[in-house]
Amino acid sequence: MAEERRRRLTGVVVSDKMQKTIVVRVERTVRHPLYKKVLTRSKKYKAHDENEQAREGDLVQIVEHRPISKTKRWMLEEIVRKKEG
């Protein structure tokens, strides 16, 4: 049986204004090599949302996918938590 090798990331939707595309901000923590302070770094990924179901503020999981466009290489897998309110 083939092992699933696609990467998965969890982040917050920061934009849903494009058609079938969401922008997801993924945060990670790194330790400064000299000062040992824990820093929060973030990166934004464009992900394909076929049914346009994710909204700004939702916590989502995205999975690596074949290139869909010039900048989209991720696809929405699931909405982990809807934005409250």
- pLDDT of 3 > 70? The answer is no
Confidence of residue 46 (pLDDT cuts 50, 70, 90): very high
The token pair that represents 62 in the structure block: 């995205």
- d(CA 65, CA 19) in angstroms, rounded, equals 18
- The pLDDT assigned to 47 comes to 98
Structural domains of the chain ordered from first start: 8-81 (2.40.50.140)
- The pLDDT assigned to 5 comes to 85
Does pTM top 0.75 for this prediction?
yes
DSSP label at residue 84:
P
Confidence of residue 71 (pLDDT cuts 50, 70, 90): very high
- pLDDT of 1 > 60? The answer is no
Residue 59, class by beta-carbon neighbours within 10 Å (0-12 exposed, 13-18 middle, 19+ buried)? middle
